Amino acid sequence: MVIDSQVPPLFSLLGRLRLRQLALVVAIDELNSLRKAADRIGVSQPAATKMLSELEQALGLLLFERGRRGMIATVYGAALIRHAHLIISDVDAMREELAGLAAGASGRLSIGMITAAAAGPLSIAIARLKDRRPRLDITITVDTSDVLIPLLEQGRLDVVFGRPVSSDHAQDIVFTQIGPERLSIVCGAQNPLRLRQDLALSSLAGAAWILQPRSSPLRQVVEASFRDARMETPANLVETASILTATTLLQHSDMIAVVPHSVALHYVASGMMAILPVLLTRQLDPYGALTRKTRAAIPALAELMALISHEPASQG
């Protein structure tokens, strides 16, 4: 339902829009309740009702409708909520940067990365960036791409080092390729399988496997490789996105796992894993840096990208 189809121009909107109104619509979306949202942002329910009404009047659009499950965003409300997340995140990033500068720090960089990137040139480049900028506040979140991309879209991450995104996200995100990454099947350093040279994927069907969650791109590639080999996904498996958990399981069992090759090389060099001589028919897309088109340029990120480009690719 449209209250007034004439959405006001930018400068008119800037004079009427308030950050607390954006915080309110985000809270309503998360809680499906105007009363609970009012409590969250610290205002009375009548005040919240007035704030929402003023916002809808300013935009000329109905943002929420009442349903059996509470307050439900309209198509206009959903669009506003998406941008509200970004605006609030950008304000928080501004606050953090100013607070850091006031405390003698040198800015902030929030990084998301997939496991494939964690053990390769990226981590070395981050260490070198930290040497150059000792007061730079760096936070790193390691997870699968399907978890990290929404955090990037919400502005909670400045960059994600992961796989290219689907067309649903492509219009808002820029992908800069860094390099390819193949997969390796690994076992613990004491697993008897490490001594065999006659292995095929089909001969591992009865083994206990460690695989990433079903929603992850890596898992989807592995399952496609199983289908190529006319195999069902092994019934005996543990699902985890944690490389630490996988490594611990490999060290204390005869399980096998699929990990990015750069990760495998790291743990082989540490004497904790062995790479089995079995190739998967499918491989992951190249990984790279994903950033939001609308985010202001971050000097520390530009410097990090320059350092990554000078790091040698993984060998082996």
CATH 3.40.50.300 fits 183-275, yes or no: no
Q: Where are the domains of the chain?
A: 10-86, 105-180+286-309, 183-275
- Tokens found for residue 62: 């109905």
CATH architecture of 105-180+286-309: 3-Layer(aba) Sandwich (3.40)
- In three-state secondary structure terms, 181 is coil
102-106, 119-123, 246-250: which is most confident = 246-250
pLDDT for 316 equals 38
Mean pLDDT in residue range 60-67 = 91
Cα–Cα nearest to 59, from 72, 44, 75, 76: 76
User: The domain at 10-86 falls in which architecture?
Assistant: Orthogonal Bundle (1.10)
Cα–Cα distance, 156 to 35 (Å, whole number): 26
Contact 63, 25 (CB under 8 A): yes
Could you count the other beta carbons within 10 Å of the beta carbon of residue 69? 8
What is the percentage of the chain residues whose pLDDT exceeds 70?
A: 92
Secondary structure, 3-state, 20-49: HHHHHHHHHHHHCCHHHHHHHHCCCHHHHH
Between residues 299 and 166, the one the model is more confident about: 299
Neighbours of 119 (CB within 10 A): 21
b/e map of 172-198 (b: 16 or more CB within 10 Å)? ebebeebbebebbbbbbeebebeeeee
d(CA 41, CA 27): 8
Distances (CA, A) of 158 to 109, 177, 312: 6, 16, 24
| pLDDT tens digits, one per residue of 166-223 | 766 567 888 888 877 789 999 999 999 999 988 999 889 999 999 999 888 889 999 9
* Residue 54 in this model has a pLDDT that exceeds 80: yes
Same fold for the pair 10-86 and 105-180+286-309: no
Residue 62 scores a pLDDT above 90: yes
